[in-house]
Chain A
Amino acid sequence: MRFDEWREEELIRQAIADEITAAEARLEGLEERVIRALASRELGCPVWKRWLRSILSPRTPALKLAYAFAVLVLFVGVGVLIGRFAFAPQPLPALAQEGTVFALAAPGAQKVELVGDFSAWKPIPLADPDGDGVWTLVLKLPPGRYEYAFLVDGRWLGQDPNADEYVRTMGDYTSVRYIGNGEGSSS
């Protein structure tokens, strides 16, 4: 090999080596980048189509224990919450709430209770939180006619000034309230 030929080959090798060195940084991680790009999108297919295909494509049913347990806990949890809020005994409603108001002025009384056919004549306590002697209770009653009385320190008080009417039963008065919107006169 002549000197000029050897020199030319050496220069070519050097040029290639320089080029490889320059491209090395760009080639690093190329394989991973390609795999990631392929996984994230299928070339030439719209997103909605790929989503639909994934929904409709037949699959082998598989149950993951962790997921099943999570669904169970969620189901029972929601059920307990609904049960607690919807069906647990509610505290006595405030006056502002919807219902029938039973009120009695009984200053000095230690205990005032309401008894009526709606509770099978079991006493329901009235409250006087501000101590002004006016005892109140709000009850939600379905439409109808109800007989009731107050027990003031255990003593029967059958004539409520707010009653719609009174009846005399077994030698004493009982108050009556009509609840709901009646249709009044007959057609």
Chain B
Amino acid sequence: MRKIFAVVVLVFAVAGYAQVQLMLPAVSPEDILQWLQQSTLPAAEKAVWLRILPKAFDDGLVDPKIAQVFFQRLVNTPPTFIGEITAIMQDLLAQGLSVTHLMNKVSQGIIMGRPWTVITNEIRLRASVLAATHANLSLYRPMAEAKASVRVKVGTFEFQARTPTWEDVEVEIAEAISDFIAGGGDINDWSGMETLIRTRLLQLRGRGLPSNLVDHVLQVLTPQLIGEIVSQAFQIERR
């Protein structure tokens, strides 16, 4: 009896200590899914998100913290906008591409008070460029590069620890091209785009992106490659 009591005391003590340590303000994928289930999102879009999100969370394509704010804002927008944004994101997720930064961009557009059509057009542009960037750059993915995303589960608490990967490099390049075009740059100025990409990647080298991945992509980056990406993104027939 005394032994049992001792074990119980020990378990309680350790559990109490562990719970305190894990009291972090984190949002779990399950929280998001549960919130979505009870949200006023249109039924069709709700069904889509509930179907695709669990795998997207598992694959690290959606950050729960960004997604939470995105959905909280999306739910208060017109149904047409919700439908268009959902379709764009669904398409990217089906290709295995991260949409976290695009969810963030939607939140930005909403806080800026931009018209729905402006936000939709910008998201569509960025999505097209991302898909084309991935299609062209995946050929150059380093052989040794591996996904460094790991899911850690301690009791009921779950979090995702990840280091930047090749996909993050692709996102940075796609975003640089998109910023160049959205900022009014000439769609045919591939050298200008390449310069912007190089500048940004060098800025991020070792402080957001691994140096070896940056060095690797800088070796293969050419205006011609950028031209391929842009042409594919906007379905321009190249001569």
Q: Give chain A's interface residues, CB within 8 Å of chain B.
A: 61-63, 65, 68-69, 71-72, 75-76, 78-80, 82-83, 87, 89, 115, 117, 120-123, 143-145, 147, 151, 156, 164, 167-172, 174, 178-187
Residue-wise, chain B 59-74 has the 8 Å CB interface mask toward A (1 for contact) of 0000001101110000
A182 to B18 CA separation, bound complex (whole angstroms): 36
Contact A75 B206 (CB under 8 A): no
Asked if B112 contacts A156 (CB within 8 A), the reply is yes
A121 touching B107 by the CB < 8 A rule? yes
* B1 to chain A: closest residue by CB: A63
Chain A residues near B18 (CB-CB < 8 A): 79
Q: Are B205 and A182 in contact (CB under 8 A)?
A: yes
Chain B, interface residues (CB within 8 Å), range: 35 or more
A167 and B183 contact, CB distance less than 8 A: yes
Q: Which residues of B contact A (CB under 8 A)?
A: 2-3, 5-6, 9, 12-14, 16-21, 23-25, 65-66, 68-70, 101, 104-105, 107-114, 118-119, 122, 172, 179, 182-184, 200, 202-208, 211, 214-215, 218
User: Are A83 and B20 interface neighbours, CB within 8 A?
Assistant: yes
- Give the chain A neighbours of B9 by CB distance below 8 A: 68-69, 71-72
Set A120, A123, A164, A171: member contacting B114, Cβ < 8 A: A171
Taking a contact as CB atoms under 8 Å apart, the answer to whether B13 and A72 are in contact is yes
Question: A78 — which chain B residues lie within 8 A by C-beta?
Answer: 17
Which residues on the B side are within 8 Å of A69 (C-beta)?
9
Assess the A75–B13 pair: CB atoms within 8 A. yes
Cα distance, A172 to B101, chains bound together (Å): 18
A169 to B207 alpha-carbon distance, docked (Å): 24
Could you jot down 8 A-B contacts, CB within 8 Å?
A68-B9, A71-B13, A76-B13, A83-B23, A117-B108, A171-B118, A181-B207, A183-B211
A169 to B182, Cβ gap below 8 A?
yes
For the complex, give the distance between the alpha carbons of A61 and B17 in Å: 25
Q: How far is the CA of A185 from the CA of B205 in the complex (A)?
A: 8
- Contact status A170-B114, CB under 8 Å: yes
Contact A180 B202 (CB under 8 A): no
Which of A89, A143, A151, A169 sits near B208, CB closer than 8 Å?
A143
- Indicate if the CB atoms of A79 and B105 lie closer than 8 Å: no
B111 and A181 contacting across the interface, CB-CB below 8 Å:
no
Closest to A117 in B: B104
Which chain B residues lie closer than 8 Å to A172 at the CB level?
112, 114
Docked CA distance A170–B3 (Å) = 67
B2 touches A62 (CB 8 A): yes
Contacts of B207 in A (CB 8 A): 143-144, 178-183
The smallest beta-carbon distance between A93 and chain B, in angstroms, is 17
Per the bound structure, the CA–CA distance linking A164 and B122 in Å amounts to 23
CA–CA, A61 to B7, complex, Å?
A: 13
